[in-house]
Amino acid sequence: MSKTALLFAGQGSQAVGMGKDLAEQFPSARALFDRANTALGYDLAKVCFEGPEAELTKTENAQPGIFLVSWTAFQLLKERAPNLKFEATAGLSLGEFTALTAAGVMSFEDGLRVVRQRGRFMQEACEAARGGMAAIIGLDETPTREVCAEAGVELANLNCPGQLIISGEADKIAAACELAKARGAKRALPLTVAGAYHSRLMASAQPKLREALAAIPLNLPSVPVIANVTGQPHATYGEINARLVEQVTASVRWEESIRYLLAQGFTRFIELGPGTALTGFMKRIDKTAQALNVADAASLAATAEVLNAGLLI
């Protein structure tokens, strides 16, 4: 029997207009955007729908915005495909918070507020240090780690075969890109980001996030939720908090997380939230797995149709 995992989008997937057609077509979606505005005390929906891009890209807006659109996609899919069953969740970086919320660990409002705080803490860390990130394409993990050690940067994301992300001081990232190309990388592309996420330059955000998480009541997850830091399921309450704090500076082991789920017999993966980055990673990790997504009204209809027909591709 097919086992389904839900995957939740991470930062970088934001785009002006995200969630707008869902809110316009589905009253329950509009209600969620209204709840979010009330919980946060400002019009996050307007930032998602209208931007401007510079405002949406701010970490303190992008993170709760992606959380909100991803959560809305999840709720709408449950409405449109009432027989949906899932046996695990995972999320890329901030998406791990959405994954935990989907598994009942925290409430929608608490998850939204703590992600907004996380974004603000990380924005403050970005402003305190001139950092950057780059995508290393076509170089394996071992030589990439050697490049990182030589350049003094860190391996931030292990997304899928052939795509790794490095993070660190901006000048060192530039040097690391040149080293990576010299070692055989097909491409080494600096990313347009506010700072050096998942590196030691984010350390100042950790004690603030720890305090924010301590104020939130948590439940144990109703299904396994895969931790970015370990590529294994979360266990105790204390471990959930510790891994979320650690995640701010640690590598995101996304490929390892997906391979764990594949080894557990998962064959269907549904990406929820703006963009299709996780679906793209999935195709690079295992082409035989069924990869679906919900980012807007059209993809919602298509995914619901597959689920309601009981189709395995």
pLDDT tens digit string along 84-124? 999 999 999 999 999 999 999 999 999 999 999 999 999 99
CATH number at residue 171: 3.30.70.250
Q: Is position 36 within any domain? A: yes
pLDDT surpassing 70 at residue 312 = no
Do residues 230 and 265 both lie within one domain?
A: yes
Same domain, 115 and 225: yes
- Do 102 and 223 share a domain, yes or no? yes
Structure tokens at 284: 């690079």
Least confident window among 55-59, 93-97, 106-110, 301-305: 55-59
Catalytic residue at 93? yes
Q: Which two tokens stand for residue 5?
A: 């995992």
Question: How many domains does the chain fold into?
Answer: 2
Residues 8 and 149 in one domain: no
Burial category of 235 from C-beta neighbours within 10 Å (exposed 0-12, middle 13-18, buried 19 and up): middle
Whether residues 159 and 204 share a domain: the answer is: no
CATH code where residue 103 lies: 3.40.366.10
pLDDT band at 1 (very low <50, low <70, confident <90, very high): low
C-alpha 227: how far from its chain's center?
A: 11
Is 198 known to be catalytic? yes
The answer to whether position 12 is within a domain reads yes
Distance in angstroms (rounded) separating the CA atoms of residues 264 and 258: 10
Q: What domain range is 162 assigned to?
A: 130-190
In a domain, 195, yes or no: no
The active-site residue, picked from 13, 70, 167, 198, is 198
Q: Are residues 174 and 295 in the same domain?
A: no
pLDDT tier for residue 241 given thresholds of 50, 70 and 90: very high
| Catalytic one of 93, 167, 199, 251 | 93
Examine the domain organization and report whether 117 and 144 are in the same domain: no
Position 101 in a domain: yes
Q: Are strands 225-226 and 88-91 parallel, antiparallel or unpaired?
A: parallel
Asked if 272 and 134 sit in the same domain, the reply is no
Q: Are residues 242 and 303 in the same domain?
A: yes
